[in-house]
Chain A
Amino acid sequence: KQEVTQIPAALSVPEGENLVLNCSFTDSAIYNLQWFRQDPGKGLTSLLLIQSSQREQTSGRLNASLDKSSGRSTLYIAASQPGDSATYLCAVCSNDYKLSFGAGTTVTVRA
């Protein structure tokens, strides 16, 4: 059974600082890994998807890396803004196309 862990559980930074969010998973036989953003009481918004054959994916200020052999992914958010305040969820898609989620990292960016 795939277990996904996200560290830290919460993070508070001043505006402009770079964010580093970590995700680890127990089974390296994955199809892809996805990062989502969730605002309070809302649904999930897809940020980045990394295929199992890729090492990283970038979109604007966001960059996600994947090290499948060690079971780790890192999401970097450059030059954080108050609008980046949200919960960030890592989800591992197994080879049967099912998503397993971590509990998330709640980010607060202070103006």
Chain B
Amino acid sequence: ETGVTQSPTHLIKTRGQQVTLRCSSQSGHNTVSWYQQALGQGPQFIFQYYREEENGRGNFPPRFSGLQFPNYSSELNVNALELDDSALYLCASSPVFRGDTQYFGPGTRLTVL
């Protein structure tokens, strides 16, 4: 157990809809990162938040957005869902020092029909 939780576990949406995924980090972890993992591939970096501000972004369009809250929780929002957004979405938190070991949650499996 890493102490990182994600909700919901599974989600089914239709193309064009919007979705919000949630993550609760370990207490004291000021950095949270979100990843998208398509079937059979490694996770792809979406963005990272450090002390509630975006601290870097991967090659994802603006319809992927996020928030980090003072209580160590965070959200990933995806607008105008596309079929290719179907994937496992992982969040990972790190202690105060960036670049340290990342602790991953179990993920949310999103299916877009």
Give the interface of A toward B (CB within 8 A): 4, 31-32, 34, 36, 41-46, 49, 89, 91, 93, 96-104
Contact = CB atoms under 8 A, between A and B. Distances in A.
B70 interface: no
Contact of A42 (B40, B101, B106): B106
B101 A34 contact: yes
Nearest 3 interchain pairs by C-beta: A101-B42, A44-B104, A43-B104
B108 to A, nearest CB: 10
Most buried by B among A49, A99, A100, A103: A99
Contacts of A91: 42
B107 interface: yes
Given A49-B100, A99-B35, A99-B102, 15 more contacts: A31-B99, A32-B99, A36-B104, A41-B88, A43-B104, A43-B107, A46-B104, A49-B101, A89-B43, A97-B99, A98-B58, A101-B42, A101-B44, A102-B42, A103-B41
Interface in B49-101: 55-56, 58, 88, 90, 92, 98-101
Interface residues of B, number: 30
21 contacts: A34-B101, A42-B106, A43-B6, A43-B106, A44-B43, A45-B104, A49-B101, A89-B42, A89-B43, A93-B99, A97-B31, A97-B48, A98-B48, A98-B58, A99-B33, A100-B45, A101-B43, A101-B44, A102-B42, A103-B40, A103-B41
